[in-house]
Structure 1
Amino acid sequence: MKNVFKMLAENSILPMWIKDLDYKFIFVNKSYADLQHRIPEEIIGLKNEDLYDKDLSNKFNEYCDEVVEKKAVNIKEVYTEAGYRQCVIIPLLDNNGELVALAGIISVTSDISRIKEKEYEIELQKVLTNKIIDILPGVIFYKDLNSKYVYANKACRDFYSQRGIPDIIGKSELDICQNKEQGKKFMEDDKHIIENKTPIHNEIVYKDKDGEFTYREVIKIPLLDKYGNVKGVVGRSLDITERKKYQDKLEYLSYTDILTGAKNRTYFEEVEKRYSEEGKLPLGVIMGDANGLKLVNDTFGHRQGDKLLIDITEVLKNVSKNVGEVFRIGGDEFVILVPEASLKQCEELILEIEEKCNQYKNDLFNISISLGAAVKYDAKKDIYEVIKEAEDKVYRNKLLQKSSIKGSILTSLKIGLGVNSGETEQHNERVVIRAIKVGEKLGLSMSELDELKIASGLHDIGKIGISDDILSKSTSLTDEEYEIIKTHTEKGYRIIKASSELKSVAKSVLYHHERWDGNGYPMGLKGEEIPLLARIISVCDTFDVMISGRVYKSAMSKKSALEELKRCAGTQFDPKVVDIFIDLYK
């Protein structure tokens, strides 16, 4: 039987050995010898120290000491150059129970080795991953399904440590956020990510102890297992304060007119588009053209010209700061966009701007800007069509300013009218004053009043092209001469229409001799077919002619002239305009 056991031990695939009480090998089988790359005879008589390095031999000796001490089987797992091994050490006792030797059986089960090696590899990967994450830029963290921190890299720990929270593991945002509303929002984001399995990208603003603001870009994604189940939330937070400042500076330079500080044309187009898309209509557009820029540049130098533009911008910003935004879209051109505004509101702003310009203090020159307003009602309408409407009004406004070049042209036309036609400047001024009063009573807008002022001042400009012999004739005109006189409306129309910005003014001049009953000239228009401004001019002009007289006709009393207007209301004149004129005159 002893030989049988010996034969089994020698041929077992499990490495086996027997040692005496001095831990010398007295038996090893072939499998054990193969592990040592030797033959059994070479190992007999050796100790652990002769086969293994110091650390490993000491471990084997300790395991043997435990068996000797307890006289019990000892099972240990050890890592050798060949991988993980399980070693079973058995005490060999005689019939009296005395220990006589130690036997060892070594398991080389590949599963154990692979498992242990995998565990070691996993642990190494975990350490490596943590080290890598620690040196990556930004705060990186992992939260469980209850939004509590499970992992935080060094940057994350430092971030909260600087804010008085030394340990965040196991805590939620409500535990660590000073701003509880912000903490609640973070946890709502986590819940959304977990429930919808979708990432979230946010910019967060933190206020530091010194009052400075820190901007952080936060990206959070769901952590899914291989079955698609959410196990938590992984996030990264980067400090983008410097990048934000750089972007803001770049945006400022891209969208701002550096000279005046107003926004530029590029930003104007973006803002207008945004207002239209957001439905902030009607959109008020106030167009402005600085007066006298060339004169200031030529007289005082470009530095003072720049100062003029800066001063005008300051006025525009101060007046519109709560209702609109100011843009410089050209050399001396400005636009104010006023969302959800009516034409009347825009004109009230214009009046306030003009008043502030008059009050503005400048040692060298007065600041002045010609303004006009239009309104965009349809989101699809091109904004530059609306600007053109406002520009036409700006042009008319410049015509009414005696100090401007365009105003000088208008003055020259009026002087020419007085010299060539016999019409006096006083007559034109009286017609203008009365027409404006009627227009105000009718509730005309500022731009309409500007048109009325120009049209009433130039209503007979066409008489420049008619012979003085006819104009100054003291006797009744022949039919042929009357027909010539009647052409003055068309001549005036052509003179004024030469300026594209004065088309509506030209029409008022063309039609100011039309009659309410349709029997006037040149087109025979009837009733409200006649432009309102032309109807106003007709009443005011006729009244002044009646009370002033002409070379061919004596002056009437004012009472008689008013009675004549009343009598002709509904035939020659618009009855409503006549009623307002009489009420105002009385």
Structure 2
Amino acid sequence: MKNSKPITHKIDTLGLTGSGIGMWWIKYENGKYFHYQTESSCSIFNLDLNETPPVEIYGAKWKENFLNVTSKESTYKKAILDGQNQIMKLLQGEIDYCEYTIPWLDSNGNDILLTDKVYLIDKNFDGTAKTISGMTINESVRNAIRDRYHKIEEQNLQLINTERRVIDLADLLVWSIDFYDFPKGDYFLCNDAFTDKLDLKRKSNGYVPLTDLFKTTCDDDEGRISMELLKSNYKKTLNNEQDEYTAVLVKHKNIKTNEIFYLEHYTRVDERNEDGTLSKISGYLIDVTTSLKIKRENDALYMKNKELLLAQKLAVSSGEVMIWFLNNQTTPKEGYFYGNEIIFKKLGLKKHLDDYFLISEFNETIYLDDEEGKILYEELLRLDNDVVNNKLNSYSKKLVKHKNLITEEILYLEHNLIVEERNKDNTLKIRGGFITDITKETLYRKEIEFLVKHDLVTGLYNRNMFEEFTTSPNIPKNYSVFVIDIDGLKFINDAFGHTTGDKVIKILGSILIKTFSHDSTIYRIGGDEFTIVSSDVDQFSLDSRIKDLKSLIKSETTHTKYIFNISVGYELVLKNNMDFSSAFISAENIMYRRKLGVRSSRKSQTMETVLETLNTKTEETIAHCDRVGAFAVEIMKALGFTRTSDLDDIKLLCKVHDIGKITISEEILSKPEKLTDEEYTKIKSHSEAGFKIVKNIVESDLIANGVLYHHERYDGKGYPFGLKGKKIPLYARIISICDSYDVMIEGRPYQVKKTHDEAIEEILRCSGTQFDPKIVKVFIELFN
């Protein structure tokens, strides 16, 4: 090949920069060569955009511009004629490629500098060119052309790689569905990038309804068909017909703005139940709108000229590409490689002789400070040795771990190499390659792989890994197995919210690592349950560890709001005297026996903690609860209830009737202005929240139901269920009057204090509507 270029020739044919570049081609038709140009090319050469192709090469407009250029500066003529001469050699079949730089004038008559890169695409039978294709790059620096022909500022390249899809640099849209929490799979958790992209709204629990995602379907055939394809894939996953699907392209719209987005869906099953039904599934979406638009525009342009083979290879890549090459015959010094601007910036390399880097400095960017880096480098080294020994002439997508020499940023880069020419003895002559940055994609893949094996809250191994261990043939002969359960986690979640519950889980996970990690494997196998498999089989040592574990929990939580206890059981296995399943069940039974033994005292402690929180957070002071309790006890006696247990129950109900308010923000609870509809809805939820809390710590259904129904009205217009008349439990009807009376005479931030007579008058007014008339009569007789 005469006057051929090295690897940059291969790379240039695969990509275009986004601005200041024009594409054109010349074809041999009916005995003549005709010139075809894109709009960008006509604009660069200041040619007539409306002139109908085909146009013979170097037509009238080009000659007019040529005369204008050469008349401005006589030295320009030689450069332009040299370029023409290169084109003629291409057309005559003497060379396959040429590159030259010429001066020209823009539409305003200003000097510009243009570089043409021209390739031979197809030949006639006689060896002359049938088709050539050219790329023109505007590289001008105004008013400096006379002095700087040889100094051309490098363009930022946006190369096309048809062998791979690089993940878009925008944030990934990440989602997951946990069927433990939502058995119907009708809600999903996602990041902010997901909701912002499509204007999806989270519910109060932070989750998004799955049906809302379907509302983002674009209202045309392409949108509907693509969404049906996504649904079909998801249904196959639900039906256990597949465990993943990738690159499912869907046309979406932003619900608010109707802006169109093309999103690629990538989904995989994280966990299935034993019957094959889904337990956990997750995935991510990539916004390919821009790249798809550019790809379609390029496809439309080049499909008009099917004979241009290069056009069939073009595709859009969103990542920056690092290019290098080495010609052993032309390199200025041994050990120097040519590199483009991106490779210097990305790796923090130092420039030598303008655009060269030292291979020794490049090798310093390879990260060898961990096992992963060493393994990846050894694989690259093996491939490079095969290239040197003539066993390979190319390789692609070889992952290597690097670091930037200046910033020390860790990078994951894919190496691609091609040998363009060897010497007669098969030693290397010309070789080159390109390197792509897939750090973001790699780290996300690692995160997904981590989450498959690890618990998201604690970072410990999850149930997947535990089940993998239990079915492994490598279970040791001697070991101990622990089963640990957090006491009352459901109550903690109901009373203080799942954020607090997760914090408790995280604290315990950290303490378990401190106590067991050096000789044990720790798993979180359920919401409140952990399992530890340890090589320690000394019973005295194991008992000591349990004691240390509980001491650590006490010392690290005493002065915080995250006070909790655990129940522990363990079993020893020596010389495989029982199988793992039996050992685990034995440890679990021991744990449950111990949990039952301390349940009563623990519930009492829990009640005290919750009441303290309630008194601190709300207007429900101890004095208020005591007054309401005193009123209620007198009414109970007047109604004929004199047993101590009945009176104790009504007093306890008065203490905890508003316990659900600890789940509502203080900002709403203490707001003096009128509540919004949304705030009032949250306030009304406290009855049901309180019912869940009380059910966890009080055995009496009378008290729990009193909490649930104490805001019902006698006329059926109360909440949460709108019960009417005697269907409202007696305790709830009694406390409704007592609580209202005390609030009226003591006042609240949202309510002015009333006198006793005013309060009595209000109670009488609401008799038969809000309050039970019979209990109103008793109340008036007792306290008026």
Structure (1/2) with the larger strand percentage: 2
User: Scaled by the length of structure 2, what TM-score is found?
Assistant: 0.30
Determine which structure has more spread, i.e. the larger CA radius of gyration. 1
User: Scaled by the length of structure 1, what TM-score is found?
Assistant: 0.39
